[in-house]
Structure 1
């Protein structure tokens, strides 16, 4: 399960994936019906990773690119001499 999640979310640190799977397993450890625990653990971890991936993409999108910074700080071109 962790291998599938690591492959699906390559930007996530392997330790993060393992922590999320462990936390989801711990949350469901009290369940009386154990048949679907693995599916539920994977869904919870996948949801948390997707939320984290969305936050990372949003933060990255808000940061100006190097080109935008260069353009904003560059001196304007002088008008041609008459």
Structure 2
């Protein structure tokens, strides 16, 4: 199975959510997991501090190339 990693990207930074790769059967499954992570980040940050909604979550393959992207602002709109 291919391995993917998740990175939180803002205008000037990009940092991995976790430093390891996770195996998923396909990019769709990895994208669903990224959406779950993003929703959790938005929920947590609403309680503690405002979330940077201009940020995005990138799904990257084993070669560190972005294969999918989730905009946190769009995810927040879907949640409301």
TM (norm. structure 1) is 0.36
Q: By percentage of residues, which structure has more strand?
A: 2
| Structure (1 or 2) with the larger CA radius of gyration | 1
TM (norm. structure 2) is 0.37
